[in-house]
Structure 1
Amino acid sequence: MLLNRSGFPVILLLSVVSVSVFCSKREPKLPEFGRELCAHCSMAIVDKRFHSQLLTEKGRRYYFDSIECSHSFEKSERYSSGSVWFADYENPDRMLSEKAAVLVRSSELRSPMGEGLGAFSSMDRAKNFLNSHKGSVWSRNDEKDY
């Protein structure tokens, strides 16, 4: 049996490292706000309420300053496939999967790219927001070229 200098079996060490690397959950991570740059427009990501990210099938992580930038990136030649996550507008330290998020477009949402898109955790939360703000629930069918 191969042992390292401390007498720890090398095979066991390699197994632990492999499991931690290859079996880790592919979940979103918050960017380093103010330092991380948007993968599409290169602006610094500073507003927690609007950031989004893409996790590729190969494990690469792309950060965006807005939902609009993530959608534009998805249309680009650089995108292959993966999962998209949006910051919950009401709880920006929480990320919502693209499938679970309800997107709202409102002129009262001051998103970094100016399209006024925000993600909410449910249709009820989105409607609650829209009860006191102008706007509408937005779907990919409403998408324009950004």
Structure 2
Amino acid sequence: MFRNRFGFSAIILLLVVSVSVLCSKREPILPEFGRELCAHCSMAIVDKRFHAQLLTEKGRRYYFDSIECSHSFEKSARYSSGSVWFADFENPDHMIPEEIAVLVSSSELRSPMGEGLAAFSSIERAKDFLNTHKGSIWSRKNEKNR
């Protein structure tokens, strides 16, 4: 009887673990700032305003210290497709999906890799920033021209 209970308990435990893994969040999870390293350049992620992350289709999560590093990592094709998020420059504890984010390039921004890229939650927020700072709305076309 002990053997049957142990076997049943092991099966239940295995099911619970499997369900929790399969149902894990497909949303951004903030890294441990100052401890987590960038998956591209290996620098510690310390400035919340510029951080980015990628979650692959297979469930592997990559953290980046800057938008520039996430773009370089994506170009390297070291992963299968997935979801990418950028920290909202104005609210860095909030992550914006890549499809929605409006990227701004500004020489006045001191991003970790020095290209001055920041993400905003809307075109209006980006334009508000550009009303008081030098820069422009950035697109993937800009990256191809570099």
Query: Is TM more than 0.5 here?
Result: yes
Over aligned residue pairs, what C-alpha RMSD do you find? 1.9
Look up the equivalent residue of 1:59 and give its one-letter code.
G
Matches within 5 A, 1:1-146: 2-4=4-6, 9-144=9-144
1:14 is displaced (CA, Å) by 2.8
1:19 is displaced (CA, Å) by 1.6
- Given the two structures, how large is their TM-score scaled by the length of structure 2? 0.90
**2:62 partner SS:** strand
Matched residues in 2 for 1:114 and 1:25: separation? 32
CA distance 1:32–1:40, shift in 2 (3 Å): same
Look up the equivalent residue of 1:4 and give its one-letter code.
F
Q: Which moved more, 1:59-68 or 1:70-79?
A: 70-79
Look up the equivalent residue of 1:124 and give its one-letter code.
E
1:27 is displaced (CA, Å) by 1.0
Matched residues in 2 for 1:79 and 1:17: separation? 25
Look up the equivalent residue of 1:64 and give its one-letter code.
F
Any gaps of 5 or more consecutive residues in structure 2?
none
Deviation string, structure 1 residues 59-103 (Cα, Å, up to 9, x no partner): 111111000000000011413311111000000011111001110
Q: Which moved more, 1:18-27 or 1:90-99?
A: 18-27
Over the matched positions of the two proteins, sequence identity in percent amounts to 80
Of Structure 1 and Structure 2, which has the larger fraction of its residues in helix? Answer: 2
1:144 is displaced (CA, Å) by 4.2
Look up the equivalent residue of 1:76 and give its one-letter code.
S
1:46 is displaced (CA, Å) by 0.5
- Given the two structures, how large is their TM-score scaled by the length of structure 1? 0.90
Matched residues in 1 for 2:80 and 2:19: separation? 26
Deviation string, structure 1 residues 13-68 (Cα, Å, up to 9, x no partner): 33322221102221111111111111111111110000101111111111110000
1:11 is displaced (CA, Å) by 3.6
Any gaps of 5 or more consecutive residues in structure 1?
none
Query: How many pairs are equivalent?
Result: 144
CA distance 1:34–1:10, shift in 2 (3 Å): same
Look up the equivalent residue of 2:23 and give its one-letter code.
C
